[in-house]
Protein backbone atom coordinates (compact mmCIF):
# COMPACT_ATOMS: atom_id res chain seq x y z
CA UNK A 1 0.00 0.00 0.00
CA UNK A 2 2.75 2.46 0.91
CA UNK A 3 4.53 1.73 -2.39
CA UNK A 4 1.43 1.95 -4.57
CA UNK A 5 2.09 3.76 -7.86
CA UNK A 6 -1.12 5.83 -7.69
CA UNK A 7 -3.71 7.08 -5.24
CA UNK A 8 -6.26 4.76 -6.83
CA UNK A 9 -4.01 1.76 -6.34
CA UNK A 10 -3.31 2.80 -2.74
CA UNK A 11 -7.05 3.01 -2.03
CA UNK A 12 -7.56 -0.38 -3.62
CA UNK A 13 -4.98 -2.04 -1.36
CA UNK A 14 -6.41 -0.18 1.63
CA UNK A 15 -9.97 -1.36 1.11
CA UNK A 16 -8.75 -4.89 0.37
CA UNK A 17 -6.90 -4.92 3.71
CA UNK A 18 -9.91 -3.53 5.57
CA UNK A 19 -12.17 -6.06 3.83
CA UNK A 20 -9.97 -9.00 4.80
CA UNK A 21 -9.82 -7.88 8.44
CA UNK A 22 -13.57 -7.28 8.68
CA UNK A 23 -14.31 -10.38 6.60
CA UNK A 24 -12.92 -12.73 9.23
CA UNK A 25 -14.84 -10.87 11.93
CA UNK A 26 -18.04 -10.91 9.88
CA UNK A 27 -17.93 -14.63 9.12
CA UNK A 28 -17.00 -15.85 12.59
CA UNK A 29 -18.98 -13.40 14.69
CA UNK A 30 -21.88 -11.95 12.71
CA UNK A 31 -22.90 -14.38 9.95
CA UNK A 32 -25.34 -16.35 12.11
CA UNK A 33 -26.84 -13.12 13.50
CA UNK A 34 -27.57 -11.69 10.06
CA UNK A 35 -28.81 -15.02 8.71
CA UNK A 36 -31.23 -15.50 11.62
CA UNK A 37 -32.40 -11.85 11.52
CA UNK A 38 -33.04 -12.21 7.78
CA UNK A 39 -35.12 -15.35 8.29
CA UNK A 40 -37.05 -13.79 11.20
CA UNK A 41 -37.84 -10.66 9.17
CA UNK A 42 -39.36 -12.65 6.32
CA UNK A 43 -41.24 -14.94 8.69
CA UNK A 44 -43.18 -11.89 9.94
CA UNK A 45 -44.36 -11.43 6.33
CA UNK A 46 -45.52 -15.03 6.14
CA UNK A 47 -42.51 -16.11 4.08
CA UNK A 48 -40.70 -19.01 5.67
CA UNK A 49 -37.10 -19.42 4.66
CA UNK A 50 -34.23 -21.61 5.71
CA UNK A 51 -30.65 -20.40 5.69
CA UNK A 52 -27.69 -22.45 6.77
CA UNK A 53 -25.80 -21.25 9.80
CA UNK A 54 -22.21 -22.04 10.64
CA UNK A 55 -21.37 -23.94 13.77
CA UNK A 56 -17.85 -22.91 14.70
CA UNK A 57 -16.17 -21.82 17.91
CA UNK A 58 -15.64 -18.05 17.94
CA UNK A 59 -11.87 -17.41 18.06
CA UNK A 60 -10.98 -15.91 21.44
CA UNK A 61 -10.36 -12.16 21.26
CA UNK A 62 -11.15 -11.89 17.53
CA UNK A 63 -12.66 -8.41 17.96
CA UNK A 64 -9.53 -7.16 19.69
CA UNK A 65 -6.88 -8.33 17.26
CA UNK A 66 -9.09 -7.36 14.31
CA UNK A 67 -9.02 -3.79 15.63
CA UNK A 68 -5.24 -4.08 16.16
CA UNK A 69 -4.90 -5.01 12.52
CA UNK A 70 -7.28 -2.28 11.34
CA UNK A 71 -5.45 0.46 13.26
CA UNK A 72 -2.17 -0.70 11.68
CA UNK A 73 -3.64 -0.62 8.15
CA UNK A 74 -5.34 2.76 8.63
CA UNK A 75 -2.22 4.36 10.12
CA UNK A 76 -0.17 3.21 7.11
CA UNK A 77 -2.83 4.50 4.71
CA UNK A 78 -2.82 7.87 6.50
CA UNK A 79 1.03 7.90 6.40
CA UNK A 80 1.24 8.03 10.20
CA UNK A 81 3.64 5.08 10.26
CA UNK A 82 5.84 3.15 7.88
CA UNK A 83 5.06 -0.51 7.14
CA UNK A 84 6.85 -2.90 9.47
CA UNK A 85 9.32 -4.97 7.40
CA UNK A 86 10.38 -7.24 10.26
CA UNK A 87 7.88 -10.12 10.38
CA UNK A 88 8.77 -10.99 13.99
CA UNK A 89 8.21 -7.44 15.21
CA UNK A 90 4.89 -7.26 13.35
CA UNK A 91 3.79 -10.65 14.70
CA UNK A 92 4.72 -9.58 18.21
CA UNK A 93 2.66 -6.39 17.82
CA UNK A 94 -0.43 -8.30 16.69
CA UNK A 95 -0.09 -11.17 19.16
CA UNK A 96 1.63 -9.68 22.24
CA UNK A 97 0.26 -12.21 24.72
CA UNK A 98 -0.85 -9.99 27.68
CA UNK A 99 -3.35 -8.12 25.50
CA UNK A 100 -4.15 -10.80 22.95
CA UNK A 101 -7.60 -11.84 24.12
CA UNK A 102 -9.14 -8.75 25.72
CA UNK A 103 -6.95 -5.75 25.05
CA UNK A 104 -6.21 -2.97 25.73
CA UNK A 105 -6.53 -2.27 21.99
CA UNK A 106 -3.07 -1.02 21.11
CA UNK A 107 -1.89 1.27 18.32
CA UNK A 108 1.06 0.48 16.11
CA UNK A 109 2.32 4.02 16.68
CA UNK A 110 2.51 3.32 20.43
CA UNK A 111 3.51 -0.34 20.71
CA UNK A 112 5.76 -1.06 17.72
CA UNK A 113 8.47 1.51 18.61
CA UNK A 114 8.74 -0.03 22.10
CA UNK A 115 9.32 -3.46 20.62
CA UNK A 116 12.11 -2.29 18.38
CA UNK A 117 14.32 -0.86 21.12
CA UNK A 118 16.55 -2.89 23.38
CA UNK A 119 15.04 -3.15 26.86
CA UNK A 120 16.67 -3.75 30.23
CA UNK A 121 15.14 -5.00 33.44
CA UNK A 122 13.71 -2.05 35.34
CA UNK A 123 13.22 -2.89 39.02
CA UNK A 124 10.91 0.04 39.78
CA UNK A 125 8.72 -0.71 36.76
CA UNK A 126 8.61 -4.41 37.64
CA UNK A 127 7.49 -3.63 41.21
CA UNK A 128 4.85 -1.29 39.84
CA UNK A 129 3.70 -4.03 37.45
CA UNK A 130 3.46 -6.62 40.24
CA UNK A 131 1.46 -4.18 42.36
CA UNK A 132 -0.98 -3.63 39.49
CA UNK A 133 -1.25 -7.38 38.84
CA UNK A 134 -2.07 -7.91 42.53
CA UNK A 135 -4.88 -5.35 42.42
CA UNK A 136 -6.22 -6.72 39.15
CA UNK A 137 -6.22 -10.26 40.53
CA UNK A 138 -8.08 -9.10 43.65
CA UNK A 139 -10.72 -7.37 41.53
CA UNK A 140 -11.24 -10.44 39.36
CA UNK A 141 -11.22 -13.39 41.74
CA UNK A 142 -12.65 -11.72 44.85
CA UNK A 143 -15.04 -9.00 43.66
CA UNK A 144 -16.03 -10.02 40.13
CA UNK A 145 -16.32 -13.76 40.67
CA UNK A 146 -18.29 -13.40 43.92
CA UNK A 147 -20.65 -10.90 42.30
CA UNK A 148 -20.96 -13.22 39.29
CA UNK A 149 -22.32 -16.05 41.43
CA UNK A 150 -25.37 -14.04 42.49
CA UNK A 151 -25.72 -11.95 39.33
CA UNK A 152 -25.89 -15.13 37.24
CA UNK A 153 -28.39 -16.69 39.63
CA UNK A 154 -30.69 -13.66 39.48
CA UNK A 155 -30.40 -13.00 35.74
CA UNK A 156 -30.79 -16.67 34.82
CA UNK A 157 -34.04 -16.92 36.84
CA UNK A 158 -35.17 -13.31 36.65
CA UNK A 159 -38.88 -14.12 36.36
CA UNK A 160 -38.80 -15.70 39.84
CA UNK A 161 -37.46 -12.66 41.68
CA UNK A 162 -38.92 -9.50 43.16
CA UNK A 163 -38.07 -5.97 42.05
CA UNK A 164 -35.59 -5.42 44.88
CA UNK A 165 -33.78 -8.67 44.03
CA UNK A 166 -33.60 -7.65 40.37
CA UNK A 167 -32.08 -4.30 41.40
CA UNK A 168 -29.53 -6.19 43.47
CA UNK A 169 -28.76 -8.44 40.50
CA UNK A 170 -28.21 -5.42 38.24
CA UNK A 171 -25.94 -3.78 40.84
CA UNK A 172 -23.91 -6.96 41.30
CA UNK A 173 -23.46 -7.30 37.54
CA UNK A 174 -22.38 -3.63 37.43
CA UNK A 175 -19.56 -4.38 39.86
CA UNK A 176 -18.84 -7.73 38.23
CA UNK A 177 -18.25 -6.37 34.75
CA UNK A 178 -16.11 -3.50 36.02
CA UNK A 179 -13.90 -5.66 38.22
CA UNK A 180 -13.78 -8.44 35.65
CA UNK A 181 -12.69 -6.27 32.72
CA UNK A 182 -10.60 -3.67 34.55
CA UNK A 183 -9.06 -6.51 36.56
CA UNK A 184 -7.98 -8.20 33.33
CA UNK A 185 -6.62 -4.89 32.03
CA UNK A 186 -4.61 -4.35 35.23
CA UNK A 187 -3.14 -7.86 34.95
CA UNK A 188 -2.30 -7.34 31.26
CA UNK A 189 -0.75 -3.90 31.80
CA UNK A 190 1.16 -5.09 34.88
CA UNK A 191 2.48 -8.17 33.03
CA UNK A 192 3.65 -6.00 30.13
CA UNK A 193 5.56 -3.80 32.59
CA UNK A 194 7.58 -6.85 33.65
CA UNK A 195 8.86 -6.93 30.04
CA UNK A 196 9.49 -3.18 30.00
CA UNK A 197 6.45 -2.48 27.80
CA UNK A 198 3.91 0.26 28.56
CA UNK A 199 0.39 -0.51 27.34
CA UNK A 200 -2.40 2.01 26.93
CA UNK A 201 -4.48 2.73 29.98
CA UNK A 202 -7.93 1.16 29.75
CA UNK A 203 -9.86 2.29 32.86
CA UNK A 204 -9.81 5.44 35.00
CA UNK A 205 -12.38 4.91 37.77
CA UNK A 206 -15.45 5.22 35.50
CA UNK A 207 -18.03 4.75 38.28
CA UNK A 208 -16.95 8.08 39.79
CA UNK A 209 -17.96 9.93 36.62
CA UNK A 210 -20.24 12.96 36.84
CA UNK A 211 -21.87 12.52 33.42
CA UNK A 212 -22.06 9.90 30.69
CA UNK A 213 -19.50 11.69 28.51
CA UNK A 214 -16.99 11.48 31.35
CA UNK A 215 -17.93 7.83 31.91
CA UNK A 216 -16.99 7.00 28.32
CA UNK A 217 -13.67 8.82 28.66
CA UNK A 218 -12.92 6.54 31.63
CA UNK A 219 -14.44 3.18 30.55
CA UNK A 220 -12.61 0.92 28.05
CA UNK A 221 -10.49 3.91 27.05
CA UNK A 222 -8.58 2.11 24.31
CA UNK A 223 -11.81 1.18 22.49
CA UNK A 224 -13.44 4.61 22.99
CA UNK A 225 -10.35 6.38 21.64
CA UNK A 226 -10.17 3.87 18.76
CA UNK A 227 -13.71 4.70 17.68
CA UNK A 228 -13.02 8.42 18.09
CA UNK A 229 -9.85 8.39 15.97
CA UNK A 230 -10.85 5.87 13.30
CA UNK A 231 -14.61 6.44 12.95
CA UNK A 232 -15.95 9.55 14.71
CA UNK A 233 -13.36 12.02 13.35
CA UNK A 234 -13.41 10.60 9.77
CA UNK A 235 -17.21 11.00 9.85
CA UNK A 236 -16.74 14.70 10.57
CA UNK A 237 -16.45 14.59 14.36
CA UNK A 238 -17.77 17.66 16.11
CA UNK A 239 -16.87 20.13 13.37
CA UNK A 240 -20.28 20.11 11.73
CA UNK A 241 -23.58 21.33 13.06
CA UNK A 242 -25.72 19.83 15.78
CA UNK A 243 -27.28 17.31 13.42
CA UNK A 244 -23.86 15.97 12.37
CA UNK A 245 -22.75 15.62 16.00
CA UNK A 246 -25.96 13.77 16.88
CA UNK A 247 -25.69 11.48 13.85
CA UNK A 248 -22.01 10.68 14.44
CA UNK A 249 -22.59 10.00 18.14
CA UNK A 250 -25.39 7.54 17.42
CA UNK A 251 -23.26 5.81 14.79
CA UNK A 252 -20.36 5.42 17.22
CA UNK A 253 -22.46 3.96 20.01
CA UNK A 254 -24.49 1.65 17.78
CA UNK A 255 -21.31 0.31 16.15
CA UNK A 256 -19.75 -0.05 19.60
CA UNK A 257 -22.76 -2.07 20.75
CA UNK A 258 -22.57 -4.27 17.65
CA UNK A 259 -18.81 -4.73 18.18
CA UNK A 260 -19.56 -6.27 21.58
CA UNK A 261 -21.78 -8.98 20.20
CA UNK A 262 -24.18 -10.17 17.54
CA UNK A 263 -27.30 -9.63 19.60
CA UNK A 264 -29.94 -6.90 19.64
CA UNK A 265 -29.34 -6.47 23.38
CA UNK A 266 -25.88 -5.02 22.70
CA UNK A 267 -27.24 -2.69 20.00
CA UNK A 268 -29.94 -1.38 22.36
CA UNK A 269 -27.27 -0.97 25.05
CA UNK A 270 -25.27 1.17 22.64
CA UNK A 271 -28.37 3.14 21.64
CA UNK A 272 -29.26 3.81 25.28
CA UNK A 273 -25.80 5.20 25.96
CA UNK A 274 -26.15 7.41 22.89
CA UNK A 275 -29.43 8.75 24.29
CA UNK A 276 -27.89 9.31 27.74
CA UNK A 277 -24.98 11.29 26.33
CA UNK A 278 -27.11 13.28 23.88
CA UNK A 279 -27.92 16.28 26.15
CA UNK A 280 -24.21 16.98 26.63
CA UNK A 281 -23.62 16.63 22.87
CA UNK A 282 -26.43 19.01 21.94
CA UNK A 283 -25.54 21.61 24.58
CA UNK A 284 -21.78 21.10 24.10
CA UNK A 285 -21.13 20.24 27.74
CA UNK A 286 -19.53 16.87 27.02
CA UNK A 287 -16.07 18.11 28.04
CA UNK A 288 -17.16 19.82 31.27
CA UNK A 289 -15.64 17.17 33.54
CA UNK A 290 -12.13 16.39 32.34
CA UNK A 291 -10.36 16.09 35.70
CA UNK A 292 -11.02 13.34 38.22
CA UNK A 293 -13.80 14.26 40.62
CA UNK A 294 -12.86 16.04 43.88
CA UNK A 295 -9.21 16.28 42.87
CA UNK A 296 -7.13 17.21 45.92
CA UNK A 297 -10.12 16.80 48.22
CA UNK A 298 -11.30 13.92 50.37
CA UNK A 299 -15.00 14.14 49.56
CA UNK A 300 -17.12 15.36 46.63
CA UNK A 301 -19.47 18.30 46.92
CA UNK A 302 -23.20 17.48 47.27
CA UNK A 303 -23.65 18.42 43.57
CA UNK A 304 -20.80 16.13 42.51
CA UNK A 305 -22.20 13.31 44.63
CA UNK A 306 -25.64 13.71 43.04
CA UNK A 307 -24.11 13.75 39.54
CA UNK A 308 -22.09 10.60 40.28
CA UNK A 309 -25.19 8.86 41.64
CA UNK A 310 -27.29 9.82 38.60
CA UNK A 311 -24.59 8.71 36.12
CA UNK A 312 -24.11 5.44 38.00
CA UNK A 313 -27.89 4.77 37.96
CA UNK A 314 -28.10 5.33 34.18
CA UNK A 315 -25.13 3.01 33.71
CA UNK A 316 -26.76 0.27 35.80
CA UNK A 317 -29.94 0.58 33.70
CA UNK A 318 -27.96 0.17 30.48
CA UNK A 319 -26.02 -2.83 31.85
CA UNK A 320 -29.32 -4.70 32.19
CA UNK A 321 -29.56 -4.84 28.39
CA UNK A 322 -25.88 -5.78 28.13
CA UNK A 323 -26.31 -8.75 30.49
CA UNK A 324 -29.80 -9.96 29.52
CA UNK A 325 -30.08 -12.93 27.20
CA UNK A 326 -32.72 -11.21 25.05
CA UNK A 327 -34.64 -7.97 24.71
CA UNK A 328 -37.66 -9.71 26.19
CA UNK A 329 -35.77 -10.63 29.33
CA UNK A 330 -34.34 -7.12 29.65
CA UNK A 331 -37.82 -5.60 29.48
CA UNK A 332 -39.14 -8.20 31.95
CA UNK A 333 -36.39 -7.22 34.42
CA UNK A 334 -37.03 -3.49 34.04
CA UNK A 335 -40.78 -4.01 34.40
CA UNK A 336 -40.14 -6.12 37.49
CA UNK A 337 -37.92 -3.46 39.03
CA UNK A 338 -40.55 -0.74 38.66
CA UNK A 339 -43.20 -2.64 40.56
CA UNK A 340 -44.44 -2.70 44.14
CA UNK A 341 -42.01 -5.57 44.83
CA UNK A 342 -39.21 -3.02 44.70
CA UNK A 343 -39.73 -2.25 48.38
CA UNK A 344 -39.61 -5.86 49.59
CA UNK A 345 -36.46 -7.38 51.05
CA UNK A 346 -34.28 -9.11 48.40
CA UNK A 347 -34.89 -12.86 48.16
CA UNK A 348 -31.18 -13.60 47.92
CA UNK A 349 -27.96 -11.69 48.44
CA UNK A 350 -24.23 -12.31 48.87
CA UNK A 351 -22.83 -13.06 52.32
CA UNK A 352 -22.41 -9.94 54.53
CA UNK A 353 -18.62 -10.30 54.42
CA UNK A 354 -18.68 -10.10 50.62
CA UNK A 355 -20.81 -6.95 50.77
CA UNK A 356 -18.32 -5.44 53.26
CA UNK A 357 -15.43 -6.30 50.93
CA UNK A 358 -17.22 -4.59 48.02
CA UNK A 359 -17.73 -1.46 50.16
CA UNK A 360 -14.08 -1.54 51.27
CA UNK A 361 -13.03 -1.99 47.65
CA UNK A 362 -14.96 1.12 46.55
CA UNK A 363 -13.38 3.11 49.41
CA UNK A 364 -9.88 2.06 48.25
CA UNK A 365 -10.81 2.95 44.66
CA UNK A 366 -11.98 6.40 45.84
CA UNK A 367 -8.81 7.01 47.86
CA UNK A 368 -6.60 5.97 44.95
CA UNK A 369 -8.61 7.61 42.16
CA UNK A 370 -5.85 10.09 41.25
CA UNK A 371 -3.45 7.26 40.37
CA UNK A 372 -3.40 5.05 37.27
CA UNK A 373 -4.85 2.24 39.41
CA UNK A 374 -6.21 2.30 42.93
CA UNK A 375 -3.23 1.09 44.96
CA UNK A 376 -0.52 2.72 42.83
CA UNK A 377 0.23 5.37 45.41
CA UNK A 378 -1.37 3.90 48.54
CA UNK A 379 1.31 3.04 51.04
CA UNK A 380 4.20 4.53 49.06
CA UNK A 381 5.18 6.74 52.01
CA UNK A 382 4.48 4.14 54.66
CA UNK A 383 7.19 2.18 56.39
CA UNK A 384 8.13 -1.05 54.57
CA UNK A 385 6.57 -3.16 57.33
CA UNK A 386 3.23 -1.36 57.07
CA UNK A 387 3.28 -1.34 53.27
CA UNK A 388 4.05 -5.04 52.99
CA UNK A 389 1.40 -5.75 55.61
CA UNK A 390 -1.11 -3.98 53.35
CA UNK A 391 -0.09 -6.09 50.35
CA UNK A 392 -0.14 -9.24 52.48
CA UNK A 393 -3.67 -8.41 53.63
CA UNK A 394 -4.81 -8.24 49.99
CA UNK A 395 -3.18 -11.61 49.32
CA UNK A 396 -4.89 -13.11 52.39
CA UNK A 397 -8.25 -11.76 51.17
CA UNK A 398 -7.62 -13.37 47.78
CA UNK A 399 -6.82 -16.68 49.45
CA UNK A 400 -9.83 -16.57 51.77
CA UNK A 401 -12.56 -15.15 49.54
CA UNK A 402 -11.66 -16.03 45.96
CA UNK A 403 -14.22 -18.10 44.11
CA UNK A 404 -12.55 -21.47 43.61
CA UNK A 405 -15.03 -22.42 40.86
CA UNK A 406 -13.99 -19.29 38.98
CA UNK A 407 -15.48 -17.95 35.79
CA UNK A 408 -14.17 -16.84 32.42
CA UNK A 409 -13.41 -13.20 31.81
CA UNK A 410 -16.54 -11.63 30.32
CA UNK A 411 -14.68 -9.94 27.47
CA UNK A 412 -13.13 -13.22 26.29
CA UNK A 413 -16.38 -13.77 24.34
CA UNK A 414 -15.82 -10.59 22.32
Percent of the chain at pLDDT exceeding 90: 48
What pLDDT was estimated at residue 347? 84
Q: Which long-range contacts (CB under 8 A, 24 or more apart) does 121-125 make?
A: 121/196, 122/196, 125/193, 125/194, 125/196
Of the pLDDT bands very low, low, confident and very high (cuts 50, 70, 90), residue 236 is confident
What pLDDT was estimated at residue 362? 95
Range 297-308 average pLDDT? 94
What pLDDT was estimated at residue 132? 96
Instruction: Give the model confidence (pLDDT) of 6-59 as tens digits.
Output: 888 888 888 998 888 888 877 777 777 777 776 777 776 677 666 666 666 667
What pLDDT was estimated at residue 286? 85
What pLDDT was estimated at residue 414? 65
Degrees to nearest 5, angle at CA 315 with 174 and 354: 20
Of the pLDDT bands very low, low, confident and very high (cuts 50, 70, 90), residue 413 is low
Range 216-234 average pLDDT? 90
Least confident of 16-30, 173-187, 190-204, 302-316: 16-30
Range 93-121 average pLDDT? 84
Instruction: Give the model confidence (pLDDT) of 252-270 as tens digits.
Output: 999 888 888 778 899 999 9
Least confident of 97-111, 215-229, 312-326, 346-360: 97-111
Q: What is the dihedral sign for C-alpha 203, 208, 210, 212?
A: positive
Of the pLDDT bands very low, low, confident and very high (cuts 50, 70, 90), residue 81 is confident
Q: What distance in Å separates the CA atoms of residue 305 and residue 326, rounded to the nearest whole number?
A: 33
Q: What distance in Å separates the CA atoms of residue 259 and residue 267, rounded to the nearest whole number?
A: 9
Annotated active-site residue 110? The verdict is: no
Mean of the per-residue pLDDT values of the chain = 88
The answer to whether the CB of 140 falls within 8 A of the CB of 324 is no
Q: What is the 3-class SS of 103-157, one letter each residue?
A: CCCCCHHHHHHHHHCCCCCCHHHHHHHHHHHHHHHHHHHHHHHHHHHHHHHHHHC
Range 79-88 average pLDDT? 87
Instruction: Give the model confidence (pLDDT) of 364-403 as tens digits.
Output: 999 999 999 999 998 888 999 999 999 999 999 999 988 8
What pLDDT was estimated at residue 50? 67
Percent of the chain at pLDDT exceeding 70: 94
Range 80-104 average pLDDT? 83
What pLDDT was estimated at residue 147? 93
What pLDDT was estimated at residue 343? 85
Q: What distance in Å separates the CA atoms of residue 148 and residue 145, rounded to the nearest whole number?
A: 5
What pLDDT was estimated at residue 57? 66
Range 186-212 average pLDDT? 94
Of the pLDDT bands very low, low, confident and very high (cuts 50, 70, 90), residue 405 is confident
Amino acid sequence: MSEASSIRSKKGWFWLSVGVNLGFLGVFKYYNFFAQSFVDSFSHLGIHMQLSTINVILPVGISFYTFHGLSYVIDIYKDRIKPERNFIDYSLFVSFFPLLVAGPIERATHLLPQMKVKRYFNYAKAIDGLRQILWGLFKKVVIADNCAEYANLIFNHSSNYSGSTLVLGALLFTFQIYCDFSGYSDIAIGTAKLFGIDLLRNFAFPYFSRDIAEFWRRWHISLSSWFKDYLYIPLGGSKGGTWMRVRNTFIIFLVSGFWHGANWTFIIWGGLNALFIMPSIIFKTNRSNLEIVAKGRSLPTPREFFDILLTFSLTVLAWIFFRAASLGQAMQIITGIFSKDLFKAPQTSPKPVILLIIIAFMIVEWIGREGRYAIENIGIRWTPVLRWSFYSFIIVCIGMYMQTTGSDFIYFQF
